[in-house]
């Protein structure tokens, strides 16, 4: 039972990490494209050259460069901006999935330590009635949803950021 749960947890971590990296790359590319296609001022030419160098060095990611949206900060309801925010939300979801897998692994590690301690205590007492499999069958794993960490990890910092921005504006 614990082996299956560990396998699920590792899959959550791997899927969350790999897909999260892809979303992060798309977000960075979108940001660079936004800077490249917007007028910056007197620093415009050196920054555009730097972005051009990054693009030329990452031609193996050309398909991602083509699909990375260009957000328009003047019009947040434009297609590029909406796609940018959708990618941000997907990135957060994959990071929550990865975090859920890590939390599940920590819980399983503690449970395995408790099983080993219980087996050791029973062997010291000479009472070997419960085998490891029997102990594992008797364990109820807490149901955990990957959205359980959403508030602490993402909503709370967002609310604090909004409050700080409003304080800065009004003070």
Tell whether the model's pLDDT for residue 148 goes beyond 90: no
* Confidence grade of residue 34 (pLDDT, cut at 50, 70, 90): confident
- C-beta of residue 34 within 8 angstroms of C-beta of residue 71: yes
Task: Give the mean pLDDT of 146-156.
Answer: 65
Which residues does 92 contact at the CB level (< 8 Å), separation at least 6? 154
Which stretches does DSSP call E strand in 19-163? none
- The position carrying tokens 């039972």 is 1
90 token code pair:
């997907």
**CB-based contact 56:120 (threshold 8 Å):** no
Who wins on pLDDT, 25 or 115? 25
pLDDT tens for each residue of 66-92: 888 888 877 878 888 889 889 988 888
Residue 167 to residue 171: CA distance in whole angstroms: 6
Residue 12, SS3? helix
The stretch 46-69 carries a mean pLDDT of 86
Model pTM score? 0.73
Alpha carbon distance 36, 168 (integer Å): 29
Query: What span, in angstroms and rounded, lies between the C-alpha atoms of 79 and 75?
Result: 9
């Amino acid at each position: 039972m614990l082996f299956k749960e560990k396998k699920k947890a590792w899959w959550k971590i791997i899927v969350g990490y790999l897909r999260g990296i892809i979303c992060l790359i798309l977000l960075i590319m979108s940001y660079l494209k936004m800077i490249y296609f917007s007028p910056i001022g007197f620093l415009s030419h050196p920054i555009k050259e730097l972005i051009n160098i990054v693009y030329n060095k990452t031609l193996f990611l050309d398909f991602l460069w083509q699909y990375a949206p260009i957000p328009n900060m003047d019009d947040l309801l434009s297609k590029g901006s909406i796609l940018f925010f959708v990618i941000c939300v997907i990135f957060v979801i994959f990071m929550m999935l990865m975090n859920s897998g890590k939390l599940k692994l920590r819980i399983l590690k503690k449970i395995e330590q408790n099983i080993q301690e219980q087996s050791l205590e029973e062997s010291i007492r000479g009472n070997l009635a419960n085998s490891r499999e029997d102990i594992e069958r008797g364990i109820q794993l807490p149901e955990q949803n990957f959205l359980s960490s959403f508030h602490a990890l993402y909503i709370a910092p967002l609310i604090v950021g909004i409050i700080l921005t409003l304080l800065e504006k009004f003070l």
